[in-house]
Amino acid sequence: MATIKDVARLANVSITTVSRVINNKPEGVSEETRQRVLQVMEHLNYQPNRVARGLVTRRTNTLGLILPDITNPFFPEIARAVEDTANKHGYNIILCNTDDRSDKEELYIRVLKSKCVDGIVFTSSSMPVFKHVKQLRDYKMPFVLLDRHFYDEKLPGVYTDGYEGMYEITRYVLEMGHRKIAYIGGPHESPNSMYRYAGFEQALKDFGLVLDKELIVEGNYKISGGSEGVLELLKRGRDFTAVVCANDLMAIGAMEVLKGAGFRIPEDVSITGFDDIPMAKYVEPKLTTVAQPCYKMGEVATELLIKLIEGKTVEDTVITLKPKLIIRNSVKKVI
């Protein structure tokens, strides 16, 4: 295996000059010399030792990506965007899946610190914990939050406007004539859940409706949350013509239970989701939902993180992207 000494000898330059070329430092290296060194490196198939290089540059050109549930179809597109954007800038990715567990988040932050990553894109569990932000700050680790709000603190982050998205889809259901609307939300104390619920509630108010608390149930952003949520609504015995869900997985779970109980969708009960995961357009009926720009979120978050790492000027470290209402076949007009 070729070494840096071999490159220096064949290129007839010093080891310091080879190091400058590797680390893209033009001082004292002519373009002719740089090209000669690069040609020798290619000829010898020389791969710089990234650990040794990191000791010099104080960087490993590696980013950490912490996700709560890689089996949730919402997250793979985000992961792909983070990887694509990182690679474009010469960075690699270490992916960590936490299974929505706070203890695993804390563990992976420590692991990524030990791996000397340059920064972390962090999507926390549905119940974000401030001690993890403190942990990152104590490590002096650049980070960008993705998708999960940490209440009102102005931390670097990229989000979709959950309030606006839920307001728009609820308004659409109302404009379709529905007035008895049930809601399956995420965990009550989750900031994301709060924003979406606030959008739902405001839409009802703008149509002059009084919120019926018996038509509100708490979910968990998983298929089971939709299934159990609908069972609870049916158990309460309240009439409803539509169910607005805080994400697509819960909407799919709710649809299956309703169908099993003999309800036709959307003829008997209309239903909506949030996220526009890939399977939303393949279930029957195709799910009306709110699209989050997942790829764009991952791309923007990674671009922001790299700017922070490289000390570049950043005008705004809190970036909110717009959602989009996707109308399909799961909502019927009520006359």
Q: What is the DSSP string of 9-43?
A: HHHTS-HHHHHHHHTT--TT--HHHHHHHHHHHHH
Please state the rounded mean pLDDT for residues 196-202: 97
| Alpha carbons 229 and 254: distance in angstroms, whole number | 7
Higher local confidence (pLDDT), 155 or 255: 255
Q: What percent of the chain stands above pLDDT 70?
A: 96
Delimiting residues of CATH 3.40.50.2300 domain(s) in the chain? 62-160+293-321, 162-292
295 — pLDDT class (breaks 50, 70, 90):
very high
Delimiting residues of CATH 1.10.260.40 domain(s) in the chain? 4-57
Residue 263 has pLDDT above 80, yes or no: yes
Q: What pLDDT score does 50 carry?
A: 57
Q: What percent of the chain stands above pLDDT 90?
A: 73
Q: Could you tell me whether strands 289-291 and 324-326 are parallel, antiparallel, or unpaired per DSSP bridges? A: antiparallel
Torsion angle defined by CA atoms of residues 244, 245, 251 and 256, in that order, rounded to the nearest 10 degrees: -60
54 — pLDDT class (breaks 50, 70, 90):
low
Higher local confidence (pLDDT), 154 or 122: 122
Pick from 35-44, 109-118, 122-131, 141-150: least confident? 122-131
Please state the rounded mean pLDDT for residues 281-292: 97
Please state the rounded mean pLDDT for residues 272-292: 97
Looking from the CA of 142 toward its CB, the CA atoms found within 13 Å total 21
Provide the CATH topology of domain 62-160+293-321: Rossmann fold (3.40.50)
Cβ contacts of 154 within 8 Å, gap of 6 or more: 317, 318
Q: What pLDDT score does 44 carry?
A: 87
Residue 288 has pLDDT above 90, yes or no: yes
- Alpha-carbon distances, residue 215 vs 179, 212, 266 (angstroms): 12, 6, 18
Tokens of 283: 């279930």
- Alpha-carbon distances, residue 143 vs 50, 140, 155, 180 (angstroms): 22, 9, 9, 43
Please state the rounded mean pLDDT for residues 190-208: 96
Q: Are 149 and 312 in contact (CB under 8 A)?
A: no
Whole-structure pTM over 0.85, yes or no?
A: no
Q: What is the pLDDT of residues 231-258, one digit of tens each?
A: 999 999 989 999 999 999 999 999 999 9
Higher local confidence (pLDDT), 53 or 266: 266
Residue 220 has pLDDT above 90, yes or no: yes
Pick from 141-155, 186-200, 227-241: least confident? 141-155
* HEC string for 290-334: EECCHHHHHHHHHHHHHHHHCCCCCCCCEEEECCEEECCCCCCCC
- Which CATH code for domain 162-292? 3.40.50.2300
CATH of 4-57, picked from 2.60.40.1180, 3.30.70.260, 1.10.730.10, 1.10.260.40, is 1.10.260.40
Q: What pLDDT score does 55 carry?
A: 46
